[in-house]
Amino acid sequence: MNNTVETPVLQLKRLTKHFGDVIAVDDVSLNIVDGEFLTLLGPSGSGKTTILNMIAGFEFPTSGDIILQGKSINLLLPEKRNIGLVFQNYALFPHMTVSENIAFPLKMRKAPKAEIKARLVDALSLVQLDDYGKRYPKQLSGGQQQRIAVARALVFEPPLLLFDEPLGALDKKLREHMQLELKRIHTRLKRTMIYVTHDQEEALVMSDRIAVVNKGRIEQIGPPDELYEEPANAFVAGFIGESNLFEGVVTGGKGDRIALTLNDRVEIMINWRERIAVGEKVRFCIRPEKLFFVDDAPADNVISGTITESIYVGETKRYSIRVNDELSINLREMSTLTGMGRREGDHVRIGWPDESVKRLS
């Protein structure tokens, strides 16, 4: 019989790290299965790099467990962990050639010369820099250095590969190219990877699963589409993509609709599946691209306001609509639809489909 439950490559169990009075990582638990590409996504200072440093062995956890392939590695020195790491600044050894850099982990493992040579060729061809072995790192471009760093981290075939914001220093075009390149390497080698970034777009493009980290805690973990479509709370909704956040008090309802007052001013009706009592507070979000302009007679799911800003951003056009002093809504529509001549100062009514209302905790 097949073992249907896969043993995770890496398990974090209630991992916590204090720096003096500061709690950098707060009770983080996580399982990563073989071949998975998991991204730790969060703003700077959220603790994501500290988590990575603890996995790599550069920091020791205050409490909790790190279990690699079934064994606790809490007290293991970094050089004994056999985990690949691609640094933010590449950390290539400037006094060694590209070949010497890539051969370094193999030499440290006392691999035979012939094997080093064969693996070196493979690693260079994997990152498509076959002829660059004799160059020094500083003679390569940023993107090439990055690829060498990836080759060096892969060459000793670690069961787990870590990336610490490896594309942060590259320009936008190159970054997008490298994202696809890393994705290609991941698909080809099926290696387990943990990727740290603050760039939500990068996380969405590359990951099998994303863990959103904030203030040392994991806010939500799941596949990219799930995080985007069903954010668990206001932080996730705001951090992944754009979001309109609403807070209101329930004033009544009929069937699966409830009436709400937003900011004590605006009365709206929305779709709400769960049971809820009058007077309760609710928080929900609607993505800007789910909103649309409506011209028709009164209906549910409608709110009116004035356009304060309209920005053309290529394939889409963004509008800022002021409902009242405290409430402003962002709406995005495809540029192909914007033939209606809406401009700043226009009074508009906007609507949304029932299913676009996402309840937040």
Partner 1 sequence: MASAMKNSIIFLSQPMALFEKKITMNQKQNGMAGKIILGIFTGIVFIFLVIPTILVVPMSFTETRYLVFPPEGFSLQWHQEFFTNKKWVEPTIFSLKLASLTTVVSLIIGTMASLALVRGIIPGKRIVHLFFLSPMMIPLIVTAFAVYGMFANFHLIGTLPGLVIAHTIIGVPYVILIITANLYRFDTSLELAARNLGANSFKTFTNVTLPLIKPGIIAAGVFCFIESLDELVLVLFLVGTTRMTLPLRMFSEIEFRIGPTVAAASTVFIIAAIGTIIALSFIEKKEKSIGLKE
Binding site for partner 1 (CB under 8 A): 56-58, 77-79, 81-85, 87-89, 91-95, 104-105, 108-109, 136-139, 152, 156
Closest approach, Cβ 197 to partner 1, in A, equals 18
3-state secondary structure of 122: helix
> Least distance to partner 1 from the beta carbon of 124, Å?
17
The structure tokens listed for 74 are 């809490």
**Is the CB of residue 335 less than 8 Å from the CB of residue 273?**
no
Give whichever of 137 and 305 is closer to partner 1, judged by the CB atom: 137
Amino acid at 185: I
How far, in Å, CA of 216 to CA of 12, rounded? 14
- Report DSSP state, residue 346: -
In whole angstroms, give the CA distance from residue 319 to residue 342.
9
Report the residue number, 20 or 94, with the smaller CB distance to partner 1: 94
Cβ proximity to partner 1, 90 vs 352, nearer residue? 90
CB of 91 to partner 1, least distance (A): 4
Which letter, b or e, does each residue of 211-233 get, where b requires 16 or more Cβ atoms within 10 Å of its Cβ? bbbbebbbbbbbebeebbeebbb
Nearer to partner 1, 26 or 59 (CB): 59
**CB of 110: closest distance to partner 1 in angstroms?**
10
Closest distance to partner 1 from the beta carbon of 133 (Å) = 14
Q: Which is nearer to partner 1, 50 or 200 (CB)?
A: 50
For partner 1, which is the closer residue by CB, 111 or 294? Answer: 111
Q: Which is nearer to partner 1, 96 or 348 (CB)?
A: 96
The least distance separating partner 1 from the CB of residue 49, rounded to whole angstroms, comes to 12
Strands 209-214 and 347-351 turn out to be: unpaired
Report the half-sphere exposure of 79 (CA within 13 A, side-chain side). Answer: 6
Shortest distance (Å) from residue 87 CB to partner 1: 5
Distance between CA 36 and CA 9 in Å, rounded? Answer: 9
Residue 171's nearest CA partner among 161, 182, 179 is 179
**E strands within 209-326?**
209-214, 217-222, 244-254, 257-262, 266-271, 281-286, 292-294, 302-313, 316-324
